[in-house]
Structure formats: structure tokens, C-alpha cells
Amino acid sequence: MTAPEIESNGLSRSQLTRSTAIWPLFALGALLLLNAFALPSFFELEFLDGNLYGSLVDVLNRSSIGVVLAVGMTLVIATGGVDLSVGSVLAITGTVAATLMAKTELGVTTAVLISIAVAMLAGALNGLLVTSLKIEPVIATLVLMVSGRGIAKYIAGEQVISVPRDEAFAAFDWIGNGHLFGLPVPTLLALSLALVTFFVVRKTSIGLLIESVGGNAAASRATGINDRMVKLFVYVFAAFCAGVAGLIDTAYINASDPVNAGVFTELDAIFAVLVGGTALTGGRFSLTGSIVGAILLQTLLTTMYAYGVASDVAPVPKAGVILIVCLLQSTKVRTWFRKRARGQQGNPATAFSSPADSSSEEAS
Amino acid sequence: MAPLLSIRSLEKRFPGVIALAGVDFELQRGEVHALMGENGAGKSTLIKVLTGVHARDGGIVELDGVSIKASSPRHAESLGISTVYQEVNLVPQLSVAENISLGRQPRRWGLISWRRLAQKADTALKQLGLSLDVRRPLSSYSIAIQQLVAIARAIDIDAKMLILDEPTSSLDQQEVELLFSVMNRLRDQGMGIVFVTHFLDQVYEISDRITVLRSGVNVGTAATGNMDRLGLIQRMLGAKWSADTVEGQTRPEKSLDDKLIVLQTRQLGRRGSIEPFDLQIREGEVIGLAGLLGSGRTELVRLLFGLNSASTGTLEVDGQPVSRWSPRKAIDAGFAFCPEDRKREGLVEQLTVRENILLAMQAARSVGSPVPLRRQLEISRTYVDQLNIKTPGVHTRTATLSGGNQQKVLLARWLATKPRLLILDEPTRGIDIGTKAEIEALICELSAAGLAVVLISSELEDLVRCCDRVVVLRDRHVVGEVTGDELNQRCMMEMLAHHDGT
Amino acid sequence: MNQRWSKLVSTASTASVLLLLWIVAGLAFDNFWSPFVVADLFSENAFLGISAIGMTLVILSGGIDLSVGSVIGFTTIFVATLITDHSVSPWLAWLTALLIGTGFGAMMGFLIHVFELPAFLVTLAGLFFARGMAFFVKPESVQIRSETYEWLSSCAVPTGGGAELELTTLILLSVFAIALVTLNLTRFGRNIFAIGGSQSSAQLMGLPVGRTKVLVYAISGFCSALAGITMTLYMDSGNPINATALELDAIAIVVIGGTLLSGGVGGVTGTMLGFLIYGTIYQITYFASLSSSLATIAIGALLLTFIMLQRLIVAPAEAE
């Protein structure tokens, strides 16, 4: 998505199709179109007390946690890593916030800040395991995935912690259930987090550094990029996003449930990122794609519920989509398709490739 | 007697390059046949075709008089062609005994008999004159022993011929002797051995015949006694003697004595990769590094750029010794490095031409102050024009560019940082003549403007053309320096071929 | 540092952790050193042990299987529904469940090997799929009413001291024995180690890499299904939410048992030790009336310690 926005001499067709956000957008469009015919009520919107309601708004509202997590996960995956701990970090953050408000005299702001700080600490742990101990990301973040929920349960004393209904309650409740400019606050939060990230990533060089490290870590190091710092940053950032998601989640139900909060959300986030066109191998990433991916996922679920599919069965089609996306990204499948295409016409890509391709094989 | 292996007019083409252009090769029973050649000569391709990694495009391969066409390493093995690579292709975690018979473990009542497995391994190793504790994991032994175990496994599958692909690269002298004793033993048993190496001493010590490949053609096969070092190197590097008489004098005399010393090393070295050396580089100077593959030339420049850490000596930049040298610090000191392997340590292929060019510059700045987009476009377009990079645009992914243009992108990346010292490791390998000339012209131009350049090239004539001074390396040692009138191919080649004790 | 030494270190550290836990617990609590505690420890967690053994094979081969918890959950509700709602004979229900589990695992292995997809993603999809299918079968708990179950629950082997090994424990021990023999005394077992140690070498050595990998995931699927059946024996019911996130415990047990997550090193003996550590930690929290979340945290901390130990001792960071 960088290419189109800076391309001053017009877009070529190949750049458009390569723009990764196209496919999930296409899928989202198709799904909405289907709903337009089958479920007309899906598009009904109404104003109540100046606030917008309806299925569409509901989808956006419910996908806000997914969007926030997907934004963080995108950067991690772009460095060639993955963060399996975001669901647990989400639960920890929510529990810390709820516990602080229920059991101490701290105000909402302090509670929120402390819980976010705790989340970032967890992210730093992940990052250090990956960068300093060079432990594979899947394994490094597995640790927190396993124990994080236990930590959350322990903090909460094995129970659901309700946010106390004191004077601060309204302020916290607003995070999860409030409206601003007629739209739900979680949606606006997710949107602004996405926008700020987008801006920071593209207006500073951090985006380029992430793509460079994910694309070729050895070359990045030889170019003077501090790849460890870049990786540490993305894990802390992903945990920060998980923290924000945890706050939204807790404020939404005005309680923190350490057992059920954020279960499987790491998988949803990975799902959104992959569907959004960022490859697990790292490198080029598309925040827009991931965001669309997260919304697509929620739309898929809402549509299924509308058709009377039980929410618990919903993982089945989710699994199907993950597999399809995986297969489409698989080099094996791609090579196979390319071979078939080459069979019909000469492939310009190979004609363009260099003698160096083969001479580098000579390097011993 | 009919040869064990006979290859006639073998051809292999890759997109855009002919790797083997009709190679003939013969291997006798009971012979160690050295296969020599520099990078890109085609020896790896030849071996890969033989072992079924690549399919051939033409020619005949006969083993024991029967025409064969290996479709996979597994298939080659079953035909009787076994290969032992530099990186041992065994399972380090498993025991020596198990590695020898993995997949063919002796069984009793359907279950593996560990006792017989150990016996079998013992026997196989005894044949090579080795006695090891076969129950210990492979990884507890040195690479040399691991290679011998790989040979034991190969022989255990009734190999007719053995290919040893640079087996000695990471071995010390004693280990090499051990390997050679095993090779001698196998030769006496009638095995045909193809020995790929870049150590000349070893070739003369062990081999019966030598074949030299250059640019995908056999440029000479001879009994080892009939090919002297000079002749061998000459064939490998493809030097043209006739040009020698005129070159050297044509060079304009550059006065460098008053120029600042950018970099100085004092007994800098790294154990196992390059022996301690002294080197001084002045502004505006072009220093060449001549040496065969594996001579330590790449290892030397990696130390200069901080990609590897030194185990001895000091490095001084502008007269100040540096500590904890790293690429980051080297870049900050104005160094730049185009590596030999562009794909591995150079380009980020997914990124665009613009992004790749800007990468080093960007990395040197703080994250919060990126180069403004307009400026980025300006810089990248300038270099695309200046270096004549053939690309559809600066937004093209570098993966789609040709090797020569990728190399130029890499050069542009470093030139954009306005370096004081540019290190180029084989910058012209695998790229076309025109681009090569452009890059050489650029080197001259930049050095005239005060840039210090360290240039590695396998092509001695390139070094003669471009350099003010050439440092010669052999077997991980800096063995000498040529300058002035001595700076010609003959001199360098004699230094490369020089052999202590003969 | 050589492998044999490091392998010894990791097994020894696992064993000493277990020993330490037992000594401390025995001194701290009355009656901890009793055959009842051991018997409980086995029977309560037998299903977890079975799936951890399947997981060991997968991890040894260099892969990972995140679907085990879901497959267990699916199996429990599937078996319970067949028996209770459809009056199918338990034997037939078990056979069907085992076939489904095995086939499911083989399918994932096929995708992983043939399309070279990352194992954690394919089995992640498997996790979603199996859990969804569990709810599709029946979204709520189903009690199993069957004479066979009543009869089986009375089967037990006395061990002396009044304690006895229940059927579930016996299943676990047989799976362990079979796995031990398979891993150490068959070519298939050794091929698993070879592939996990270096897949490219295994390929060049002509080992049947594809077949072995598919089979490993099939076995893991089989173990999960068997674990699910064991769970129904223990609980006399099936529930689609059973064994949620159990794969994480299984992985933790395998790693604590000294099997390298990168594959090629380890074994089921270590996994049994890891299983005992896991069970002991839960027993201790029970004896000390601590919350079970502390046990989770302790296991996480152990997991972290062992991963770091593996990193530092077994596979020292490559100098760069």
C-alpha cells in the first residue's frame, strides 16, 4: 500500500493488483452484497438520541478489538515473527485495570495508565526473549500465552472482577459503551489507533525499517539497522495494542473475566493479518489490509449469526478461510500456478531475472 | 580400461546464463581427480547435475559404461554416486552409528538391534582406518570426523564413486591429513574420487589428475605432475599473458603520500578465517585484494566493516583505535560495504529501488526524522540516472531487476551515504560486460574525488586496470603487495602460485 | 558442548525438579507421600499425558500440533452423543472417534508436508475446525449412560497400600510403552528424530520424509482422540468445551520433559517426567489450598526456565 500512495506518476495495473488490501476488500464487498440481497435489515441504520445504531455499526463496534489487535500483530508479523500472547496480555490488562479500580483508590486515568504499562512490560519480555535469547517467536510468546492467563486469574483472585459503580464508573464505561459523534467509542478508538499507527509508521522511517528487517534481517544488519531494537519495538507495540484491547473489552462488559477475556483473539488477529495480505515470512505489510481483514472476520461472524449459525460453530468456516489464505500464500501453490501460466505464455518475470540468479548458486 | 565415469558435452542453462557449455570430464577407478575453478566456473552446477539436483539440458553421462540420468540425490546414490558436502548432510543429534545406517538399520524381529548397528558402524569405520566411539552423538565430533562418517555412510551404500565437495574448507592441517589418508585408502580400493577444493597445496598433495573449469567449459585436464601451479592458476583465472607487456605502464602516477590515512590495521585477524595482517588505506586510493576463493579476502573485508569481530589486533580509523567495531559504527565512520552475496547480505528484495537506495541513509538517521519523500525520490532518481540503473521506475521491487542492476542499486545505497571508504566484494561477478565497465569507470571517478576503495575481484585484469595497489592473499594469509610496475597479472599470479618449499 | 552431555543435563534437571517438588511437598504436607496421591495424579491427568505423548512425536519431528485440545473436546462430545443420543455401542463409537482423529491428523500432516505450510498455522486452523465441529455435534454437555462405562470404571489394578491404578492410567501407561518402543526401536521412530534434527539431511539420506511426517500428525490425532475417550471414561460425560487450551499444557509438559522445540532431541521418558511434574504441581496447590492459577503460573515459569536452559546449554546462540 505504500506504492500507490507515493506513486506520483500514476498507478500501473500490476501495482493495483499487488496492493494487498484489494483482496480482503473484495471479499468484504462480496459478503456485504450477499447480505444486501439476503438480509436487507443488515443495512438498516437508525438514529437514537443522536447515536447511530444498526447491524453495520454493530459490526464495526464488535470488530474494534480485532482491529486493534490486528494492527499490533501486523507489525510483529512484518518482522517475520508472531505474537501468540496477545490474548493473555489482553486478559492481564483488563484484570489489572478492573482490580485497580475495584480494590484501590486510584482514579480511572491512573488505572488505565498502569494497566497499559503492565501490558507493555509483558511485550518487552516477549521482545527480549526473541532478540536477546534468540528464541523463536512462536516459542517465546507461547510462554506468556500459557502463563499469562494464570497471572490474570491470580491477580483477579480466580473470579470475575466488576468495575465498581462509583463516580469514576461513567468515565470507564464510556470507553466501552460510550458514543462520540454518533459513533461507538470503541470503534473510534480502534480507528484512531489505526490511523495514528499508520501515520507514525509511514511518516517516520520505522515502517521501512520493519519491512527491511522482515525482508532480510542479515542485509538490514549489514546496512546499519539495529534489528534488535526494531523487533523489541514491535513486540512492545503489539502488547500495547493488546492492552488497549483489554481496556475496551473490560469497559464493554464493565467487568474483567480473566478466564474468558480474549480467548483465541491472538488467532483472530493472525487471521486478520494473513487475510489482509501480510505474509507470515515477514517483509511488506499492509495495515489497511489487516484492518479490513479484522472487519471482514466480524462481518463473516455477524452474517453467520444472522443466518442462525450458532456462535460456537463459527470457528469452522474461520478455519476454512485460514487454510485457503495459507494455500494461496504457499510458495508451492504459487509456483504451480506460475508454471501453468508460463505454459500458456512466456513469463516476463523469468526473462527479466538475471544471470546472477544462477551464478549465485555457484557460490560455495 | 574404460573410465568409471564419462561425461561428454554436458550442457546446463539457467535463465539468462549458460552454466555448463559442453563440459567433458572423465574419472578413472582408483583415481583422485581434482575439479578446480573459481566462482561461476560451473563446478557446483556440474556436481548438481551429476547428483540429480539439476536436470541436464544436453550431453551424456555414463557410469560404468551405462548411460545414467540421476533424478534426485537419492537416485544418484542408488546409482553409485555418493556426495559428501562441506556442510555435512547428516543428523548431528543422532549417534555416529545411527548416522551411518539411518534408514537401513539392522533389525531383529522387526525391531532395531542397537548392538548390531554399532558393530556395523565399527566395521564401516575400520575400513577407513578409523576407530570411534560410535554411540556418541555425531555433533560431539569435529567437522572432519563428521565428514569421514559421511564418507563411511556413502561407502556403506556401495558407492562406485565419491564426490567430495570442498570437504577441507573448515579443517585444520591434522584433520586434512586424516581425510587424505582415508582418501588414499579408498583410492587403493579402486574408488573413483572427485575432489573439489580451492586449496592448491592440497590438490598437489593428493590428486592424480586435475580438471579446470572456467565459464562452464573444461579448459584443461592433465595429470597433476604435468600442470604446474602457474599454469593451473592461469587456467582458473583465464589470464591473457600477451596483454601483460603493455599494462602497468599506462597507469597515471597518482601521488598518495600526502593523503590522509583513512584506515589502518595492526595485526588485525580472526582465528580460523584470516591471519593477522597490516593494512593502510589512504583517501583516494584504490586497493585491490587478489586471492583465490577461500584465500581469506572476503573474511578480511568483513573484519574491516565490523561484520565479524576480530580476535587479535587493532583497527584504527583516522588514527584512532576503535573498540567494539560494528557495521553501525563503520557506517558512521563513513565506511560502505557491498557484499559478495547480494541476495543474502545486500538487497532487501521485497523493497523497491527507492527504498533499497535510501536504506543505509535512513538507518543512519534517527527514526523520527526520515528523509522527506520528495528528497527520497530525488536521490533515488538521481542515482538511477547516474548509474544508469535499468528499472521501470524507482517503485519497482528490486527482486525483479537483473543482477547487474541489483548491484548498482546496492552501490547507489552506499554512495547516497557519501562514504569515505567503499568496500566492494566481487562487484562485477555475474553481471554483463557493459555494466562491468560502467562500474569500473565509476570506481576510478570516485577515487579521483577522494574516495578510498577496497576492491575484491577474481579477475586479475580488473585489479590491474582499477587499482593503485594490490594486496595478495593465499591460504588466509596476506602474502604480499604489488604496486607500480609490478602491478601486472604475471606478478600477482606468481605470488598466488608461490609455494613454500618448492 | 556435546549433545550427550546437554541431553543428560536436561533430563537430569527435569528429574531433579520432580524430586525436589516431591521432597518439599512431602515435608510440607502430611500424607503427600502416599500411593493415593500418585494414583490420583495419574488418573486425573491421564488424558493430558496421552496427548502429550502424541505431541512429543510431533515436536521431535520438528513440528507442532495446536489442535489437540480441540480434537479431545470434539471426541468427548462425539462419543457421548453417539452413545447416549443414538444408542451406539461404545466400542463402535470409540472406533469411529479414533478413525476420525487419526484421519484428521493425517489431513493436517498432508497439508503441512505437501504444501510446505507452517505447522502452527495448519494446526491452528485444525484447532478452530475441531472446536467448531464439537459445538456442531452438540452445544452442551451430554451425560454418558452405558453399562460398558460402568463396568469399565470398576476395572482397576491394585498397587498395594489400598491404592489402585484405574483404567485411564493403564491406557496412559500402555501408550507410553508403545511410544517408547516405537521411538527407540523402529526405523519409523528413528526417522522422526532424523527429520527433526535436519529435514534436508533426512531427505538427502533418502528417508521417507513425507510419509513419516504425515504419520506423525496422524498419530498425534489418534492420541488426541484416545485422550478424548479417556476423558469420557474419567468424567462419564462429553462436553464441547472440554480440554480448551489443553495443547498449551501438553507443549509445556513436552518441553519441561527436555524435548527440544526445534526438534530432533528428546523423548517420551522425559515427557512422562514432565507429566509427573505437572501433576505434582497441581497436587501441591491442592494440598496447600492454593488457587490453581498459581499452578498455571508455576508451569509457565518452568516452561520459560527450560526454554532458556535449552537455548543456553543445548543450542548456544550462533556467533554472529
- Number of neighbouring beta carbons within 10 Å of residue C210: 14
Structural domain contains residue A192:
yes
pLDDT at B331: 92
Domains of chain C, by residue range, sit at 2-319
Instruction: Tell me what the mean pLDDT of segment A79-108 comes to.
Output: 88
Whether residues B44 and A362 touch (CB distance < 8 A) is answered with: yes
Quick check: A1 pLDDT over 70?
A: no
Indicate the SS3 state at residue B54.
coil
| Chain A residues inside the 8 Å CB shell of B370 | 203-205, 208
Query: Are the beta carbons of A219 and B367 separated by less than 8 Å?
Result: no
C-beta of residue B476 within 8 angstroms of C-beta of residue B273: yes
- At B9-19, the pLDDT tens digits run 999 888 767 88
The answer for residues whose C-beta is within 8 angstroms of residue A318's C-beta and 6 or more apart is A268, A271, A297, A300, C128, C132
DSSP letter assigned to residue A134: -
Against chain C, the chains showing at least 3 CB pairs within 8 Å are A, B
> Closest Cα to residue A52, out of A180, A176, A165?
A180
Distances from the Cα of C12 to the Cα of B138, C249, C258, angstroms: 21, 21, 9
pLDDT of res. B357:
93
Neighbours of chain A (3+ CB pairs under 8 A): B, C
Contact across the interface for C204 and B74, Cβ inside 8 Å: yes
Instruction: With CB atoms and an 8 Å threshold, state whether B93 touches C197.
Output: yes
Enumerate the residues of chain C whose CB falls inside 8 A of the CB of residue A267.
124, 127-128
Tell me whether residues B89 and C194 touch, CB distance under 8 A: no
Residue A61 located in a structural domain: yes
Residue B200 pLDDT more than 90? no
Residue A7 has pLDDT above 60, yes or no: no
- Is pLDDT at B35 greater than 50 in this prediction? yes
Burial of B354 (0-12, 13-18, 19+ CB in 10 A): buried
Per-residue pLDDT at B254:
65
Q: Return the C-alpha cell found at A230.
A: 526494531
| A263 contacts chain C (CB < 8 A) | yes
Residue B327 in grid coordinates: 557495521
Q: What would the mean pLDDT of B411-440 be, rounded to a whole number?
A: 86
pLDDT for position B501: 42
Question: Taking CB atoms and an 8 Å limit, are C198 and B105 in contact across chains?
Answer: no
Residues A186, A65 contacting (CB under 8 angstroms): yes
The CATH number covering residue A48 comes to: 1.10.3470
The DSSP secondary structure of B156-189, one letter per residue, reads HTT-SEEEEESTTTT--HHHHHHHHHHHHHHHHT
Nearest to A312 among C118, C240, C312 (CB): C240
Q: Has residue C187 got a pLDDT over 50?
A: yes
Please check whether residue A280 touches C, CB under 8 A. yes
pTM for this entry: 0.84
- 287-306 in C: which are within 8 Å (CB) of A? 291-297, 299-301, 303-304
Three-class SS of residue B258?
coil
Q: Searching chain A, which residue's CA lies closest to the CA of residue C108? A: A323
For residue B288, what pLDDT is reported?
A: 92
For residue A7, give the nearest of B395, B463, B265, C282 by alpha carbon: B395
Which of the residue ranges A80-94, A140-154, B41-55, C279-293 has the most confident prediction, judged by mean pLDDT? A80-94
Q: Which helix (H) or strand (E) holds C260?
A: none
Mean pLDDT (chain A) is: 80
Work out the burial of residue B168: count CB atoms within 10 Å of its CB; fewer than 13 is exposed, 13-18 middle, 19 or more buried: buried
Give C146 to chain B, closest Cα distance, Å.
39
Nearest residue to A358 via CA among B121, C70, B17: B17
* Contact criterion met (CB < 8 Å) for A363 and B337: no
* Residue A361 maps to a domain: no
Note down the domain range covering A218: 3-355
Question: What pLDDT, in 10s, does the model give residues C227-277?
Answer: 999 999 988 899 998 888 888 899 999 999 988 888 888 899 999 999 999
- Quote the CA–CA distance of B354 and A190 in Å, as a whole number: 32
The pLDDT of residue B242 is 46
Average pLDDT, chain C: 88
CB proximity A323 to C under 8 Å = yes
Residue A363 lies in a domain: no
Residue environment code for A320-330, b if the CB has 16+ CB neighbours within 10 A, otherwise e: ebbbebbeebb
* Distance in Å, alpha carbon of A141 to nearest chain C alpha carbon: 10
Residue C185 pLDDT exceeds 90: yes
Give B 458-477 residues with CB within 8 A of chain A: none
Those of residues 72-101 in B touching chain A at CB distance below 8 A are 86
Higher pLDDT, A33 or A39: A33
Residues A188 and A180 sit within 8 Å (Cβ to Cβ): yes
Q: Which of C127, C135, C261 is closest, CB to CB, to A313? A: C135
CB atoms within 10 A of CB B253: 7
Q: Do C193 and B103 touch (CB under 8 A)?
A: no
Q: Given CB atoms, is C316 within the 8 Å cutoff of chain A?
A: no
Q: Do residues C219 and C57 lie in contact, with contact meaning Cβ atoms separated by under 8 Å?
A: yes
**Cβ separation C204–B91 shorter than 8 A:** no
| pLDDT score recorded for residue A101 | 83
What is the per-residue pLDDT for C117? 86
The mean pLDDT of chain B is 85
Q: Count the domains in chain A.
A: 1
Cell reading at B311: 580476535
Cβ-proximal residues to B208 (8 Å cutoff; 6+ apart), any chain: B28, B31, B32, B33, B187, B223, B224
Q: Which residue has the higher pLDDT, C188 or A24?
A: C188
Long-range interactions of C176-182: CB distance < 8 A, separation 24+: C176/C49, C176/C53, C176/C268, C176/C272, C179/C53, C179/C56, C179/C57, C179/C268, C180/C267, C180/C268, C180/C269, C181/B111
What pLDDT does C59 receive?
96
Residues in B touching C181 (Cβ below 8 Å): 111
Cell (9 digits) for B458? 577474481
User: Is residue B253 very low, low, confident or very high in pLDDT (cuts 50, 70, 90)?
Assistant: low
Query: From C189, which residue of chain B is nearest by alpha-carbon distance?
Result: B112
For chain A, how long is the longest CA-to-CA vector?
Answer: 73
Q: What's the gap in Å between the CA of B120 and the closest CA on chain A?
A: 33
Least-confidence region, from A1-10, B138-147, C185-194: A1-10
Q: How many CB atoms lie within 10 A of CB A144?
A: 27
Whether the CB-CB separation of C266 and C58 falls below 8 Å is answered with no
User: What residues of chain A lie within 8 A of the CB of C118, using their CB?
Assistant: 280, 326
Residue B70: which pLDDT band, with cuts at 50, 70 and 90?
A: confident
C-alpha cell at B397: 521491487
Interface test with A, best of B11, B13, B17, B49 (most A CBs within 10 A): B17
Contact list in B for residue C190 (CB cut-off 8 A) is: 94, 98, 102, 105, 112
Residue ranges with strand state E in B37-146:
58-63, 66-67, 81-84, 107-108, 111-112
Instruction: Give the tens place of pLDDT for each residue, B104-119.
Output: 888 888 899 999 999 9
Name the minimum distance, in Å, from the CA of C200 to any CA of chain B. 8
CB spacing of B137 vs C202 below 8 angstroms: no
Confidence label for A8 from pLDDT (cuts 50, 70 and 90): very low
> Which A positions 147-186 lie with beta carbon below 8 A of chain C?
147-154, 157-158
Q: Give pLDDT tens digits for B261-293.
A: 889 999 999 987 889 999 999 988 999 998 887
% residues pLDDT > 90 (chain C): 49
Mean pLDDT of A24-47: 77
Q: Which residues contact B233 (CB under 8 A, 6 or more apart)?
A: B200, B292, B493, B496, B497
Please give the class, per CATH, of domain C2-319: mainly alpha
Taking the C-alpha atoms of residue B79 and residue B123, their distance in angstroms, rounded to an integer, is: 23
Considering only CB atoms, C122 lies closest to which of A146, A326, A333, namely A326
Q: Model confidence over A219-272: pLDDT tens digits?
A: 998 998 989 999 999 999 999 999 999 999 988 888 788 888 888 888 889 889
Q: Tell me the pLDDT band of B373, cut-offs 50, 70 and 90.
A: confident
From A119, A111, A146, A143, select the one nearest A130 (Cα to Cα): A143
The mean per-residue pLDDT over the stretch C79-96 comes to 93
Question: Nearest-CA residue of chain B relative to A207?
Answer: B367
- B203, B34 Cβ separation under 8 angstroms: yes
CA distance A80 to A76: 7
Looking only at the bridges linking them, the beta strands covering B335-338 and B286-290 are: unpaired
CA–CA dist B36, A27 (Å, integer): 57
Beta strands B111-112 and B209-214, pairing class: unpaired
* C-beta atoms of A355 and B413 within 8 A: no
Q: Which of A84, A323, A334 to mutate to test the interface with C (most CBs of C within 10 A)?
A: A323
- Structure-model confidence comparison of residues C55 and A353, the more confident one: C55
